[in-house]
């Protein structure tokens, strides 16, 4: 629709009847959102993100923003897709048991072609409906109604209904299952008399066969995004009840593929077994081959065309792969990062001035350039990324050695100090490089950094205990999600042991605010508090890269490296 037609706050004025039928007027905030789009207060991307969050059908939202790409499942493809073929991917192959307890993205990548999600975050970081065809939130964001897609069936012939979703979410909230979703969906969780966290009564309410409501104890803006986390695939209502909770032996899903082989550490073979509710799926088979932990082996497999694609292109292999004439490198800007976080309850990092002194030594741009070849963007020590919709721009940080010296003296270390950072290279050797470069940056201020290099698995045993550590965090579509997971007092992944009521209140305030610009203002408060408290010197945000044979068409890299192959086809099929 034309921008000029938007004149008043009546939601019916913004949409065509056909669009209203798709849900364009589901939330009272829509008129305000449309106003903001028309007056240029928010970008089209922000509008799309917010409108789909409010339950506007994705197609309608894209049309309202005057952008193509409204097809929830597909976007325009370059060339005429060819049906058939086998896509071979180098990726770790792990146990395919219970999706609720998945702890690696790689496991979900195999499962994603069998069991699917209520929502889907696209590679452009916008979350759109999927198994749920739309959703609605109450004005206070504490009640969410999901309308499920009709006509979807499980591979065993059963119809997909709200009972499946209720069963799946109930399992997540059951402490006996051991799912990380118990922390992710904190707004539906409380501690019982024994201190065990479990789902609150009446959190899940089945309205009818295709409608389900979630009643939260506090506002949560990110419910649709959370339903596209890697352990949140929807399983059949009999999973773990009528049969063992093991996807490899009971591969019942709504997706088009069946798992014909899953040998951990070796190979997983998926074959297309039936028609898909979302239309044609071009590939016939997807093969995952496990070449171990050594990224050189992945790259060698691609170079010798044993595989068509690798899970991730390591940063030190760019030049070698770029020289291969039959390979394309794909990239996406993400909110993946690593933070040099202090555990603020441990001496000497309980000393605010010391933390500020360390943070003042950091030259973010140099760290990005020298340790990650400039493939990303500088961060600002508050873990909210410019690609997050609620990111608020703060004055840029500058390295200031004199200030660091003064702060160090104030902290009680006028003659300098030696501190140790734990690092497990959990995302690659560039992490050691970053530590070494930061060591050089801090040295002139009298701060001697010793790097405690350890194996990745050992780091994951101490990541939330080490007084100072370099921890990698994956991309999350919203800044509020990651701040809530990592820095709210008492949450399981609060590796800094950070406990600041002012920050929690500011985050609650931002979390319950729908207006994008208002939320940015409130996020600015959160970001500033984190910067001032200097709990996470954060060098940079990483772009992620994939390398694939040129015959692989329609591939888009997802910021979290989730495999979405519904648009992928092979030119030699």
Partner 1 sequence: MVQLIIRRIGMMILILLVVALLLFLINEGDPTLVARSVLGPYAQPEQLNAWVIENGYDRSVIVRYFEWIGRIFAGDLGYSVIYKRPVNEIFWDRLGNTGILAGVTFVIMVVIALTLGVLAGMKEGSLQDRSISVFSIITTSIPEYASAVFLVGIFVFWLGILPGTSSMTSGFDPVQMILPVLVLVLYGFGYIARMTRASMAEVMTTPYIRTAVLKGLPYRRIILKHALRNALIAPFTVIMLQINWLLSGVVVTEFAFGYKGFGALLLEAALRRDIFVIEACGTAAVFVAVFTQTVGDLGYTYLNPRIRFK
Binding site for partner 1 (CB under 8 A): 94-95, 97, 101, 103, 175-176, 178-180, 182-183, 194, 196-197, 264-267, 287, 289-294, 296-297, 299-304, 306, 320, 323-324, 455-457, 460
The number of residues making up the chain comes to 573
Nearest distance in Å: CB 249, partner 1: 10
Nearer Cβ to partner 1 (135/493): 493
Nearest distance in Å: CB 197, partner 1: 8
Nearer Cβ to partner 1 (94/513): 94
Nearest distance in Å: CB 142, partner 1: 26
Nearest distance in Å: CB 200, partner 1: 17
Nearer Cβ to partner 1 (44/261): 261
Interatomic CA distance for residues 427 and 334, integer angstroms: 15
Nearer Cβ to partner 1 (119/179): 179
Interatomic CA distance for residues 533 and 344, integer angstroms: 10
Interatomic CA distance for residues 487 and 559, integer angstroms: 22
Nearer Cβ to partner 1 (247/385): 247
DSSP character for 42?
A: S
Nearest distance in Å: CB 456, partner 1: 7
DSSP letter string, 241-304: TTB-S-TTTS---SSSEEEEEEETTTEEEEEE-S--TTS----SEEEEE---S-HHHHHHHHHT
- Helix, strand, coil shares of the chain, percent, nearest 5, are 30, 20, 50
Nearest distance in Å: CB 259, partner 1: 14
Nearer Cβ to partner 1 (67/264): 264
Nearer Cβ to partner 1 (179/381): 179
Nearer Cβ to partner 1 (60/180): 180
Nearest distance in Å: CB 422, partner 1: 17
Nearer Cβ to partner 1 (261/403): 261
348 preceded by cis ω (within 30°)?
A: yes
List of E strands, 508-559: 540-549, 552-553
Q: Which of 202, 288, 519 is nearest to 391 (CA)?
A: 519
Q: Which of 510, 482, 383, 516 is nearest to 45 (CA)?
A: 516
Nearest distance in Å: CB 563, partner 1: 18
DSSP letter string, 178-235: --THHHHTGGGEEE-TTS-EEEPTTSEEEEETTEEEEE-SS--TTHHHHTTSTT----
The torsion of the CA quartet 190, 193, 197, 201, rounded to 10 degrees, works out to: -50
Helix orientation angle between 352-360 and 401-410, rounded to the nearest 10 degrees: 170
Nearest distance in Å: CB 298, partner 1: 8
Nearest distance in Å: CB 110, partner 1: 14
The torsion of the CA quartet 242, 243, 245, 246, rounded to 10 degrees, works out to: -160
Nearer Cβ to partner 1 (80/194): 194
Q: Are strands 540-549 and 569-570 parallel, antiparallel or unpaired?
A: unpaired
Nearer Cβ to partner 1 (170/296): 296
CB atoms within 10 A of CB 212: 25
Nearest distance in Å: CB 57, partner 1: 35
């Amino acid at each position: 629709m034309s921008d000029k037609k938007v004149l008043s706050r009546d939601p019916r004025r913004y949409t065509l009847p056909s669009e209203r039928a798709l849900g364009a007027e589901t939330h009272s905030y829509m008129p305000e959102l449309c106003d903001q789009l028309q007056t240029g207060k928010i970008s089209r991307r922000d509008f799309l993100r917010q409108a789909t969050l409010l339950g506007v059908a994705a197609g309608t939202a894209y049309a309202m923003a005057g952008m193509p790409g409204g097809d929830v499942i597909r976007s325009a493809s370059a060339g005429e897709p060819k049906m058939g073929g086998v896509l071979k991917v180098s990726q770790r192959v792990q146990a395919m048991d219970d999706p609720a307890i998945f702890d690696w993205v790689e496991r979900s990548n195999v499962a994603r072609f069998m069991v699917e999600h209520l929502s889907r975050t696209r590679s452009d970081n916008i979350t759109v409906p999927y198994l749920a065809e739309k959703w609605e939130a109450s004005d206070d964001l504490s009640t969410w109604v999901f309308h499920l897609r009709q006509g979807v069936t499980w591979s065993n012939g059963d119809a997909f209904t709200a009972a499946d979703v209720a069963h799946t979410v109930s399992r997540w909230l059951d402490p006996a299952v051991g799912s990380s979703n118990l922390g992710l969906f904190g707004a539906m969780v409380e501690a019982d008399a024994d201190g065990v966290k479990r789902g609150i009564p009446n959190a899940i309410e089945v309205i009818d066969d295709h409608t389900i409501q979630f009643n939260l104890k506090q506002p949560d803006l990110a419910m649709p995004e959370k339903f596209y986390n890697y352990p949140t695939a929807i399983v059949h209502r009999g999973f773990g009840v009528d049969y063992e909770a093991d996807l490899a032996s009971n591969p019942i899903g709504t997706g088009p593929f069946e798992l014909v082989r899953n040998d951990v550490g070796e190979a997983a073979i998926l074959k297309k077994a039936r028609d898909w509710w979302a239309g044609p799926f071009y590939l016939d088979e997807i093969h995952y081959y496990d070449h171990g932990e050594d990224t050189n082996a992945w790259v060698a497999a691609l170079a010798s065309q044993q595989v068509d694609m690798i899970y991730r292109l390591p940063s030190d292999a760019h030049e070698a792969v770029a020289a291969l004439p039959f390979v394309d490198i794909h990239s996406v800007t993400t909110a993946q990062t690593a933070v040099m976080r202090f555990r603020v309850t441990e001496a000497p990092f309980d000393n605010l001035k010391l933390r500020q002194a360390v943070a003042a030594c950091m030259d973010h741009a140099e760290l990005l350039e020298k340790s990650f070849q400039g493939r990303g963007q500088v961060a600002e020590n508050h873990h909210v990324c410019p690609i997050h919709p609620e990111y608020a721009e703060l004055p840029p940080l500058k390295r200031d050695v004199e200030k660091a010296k003064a702060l160090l003296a104030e902290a009680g270390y006028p003659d300098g100090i030696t501190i140790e950072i734990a690092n497990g290279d959990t995302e690659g050797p560039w992490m050691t490089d970053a530590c070494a470069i930061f060591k050089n940056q801090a040295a002139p201020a009298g701060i001697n950094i010793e790097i405690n290099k350890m194996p990745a698995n050992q780091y994951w045993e101490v990541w939330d205990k080490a007084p100072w550590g370099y921890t990698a965090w994956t991309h999350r579509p919203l800044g509020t999600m990651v701040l809530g997971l990592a820095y709210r007092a008492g949450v399981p992944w609060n590796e800094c042991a950070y406990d600041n009521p002012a920050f929690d209140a500011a985050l609650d305030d931002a979390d319950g605010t729908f207006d994008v610009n208002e939320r940015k203002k409130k996020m600015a408060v959160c970001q500033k508090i984190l910067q001032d408290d200097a709990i996470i010197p954060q060098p940079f945000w990483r772009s992620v890269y994939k390398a694939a044979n040129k015959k692989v068409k329609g591939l888009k890299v997802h910021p979290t490296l989730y495999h979405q192959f519904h648009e992928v086809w092979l030119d030699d099929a």
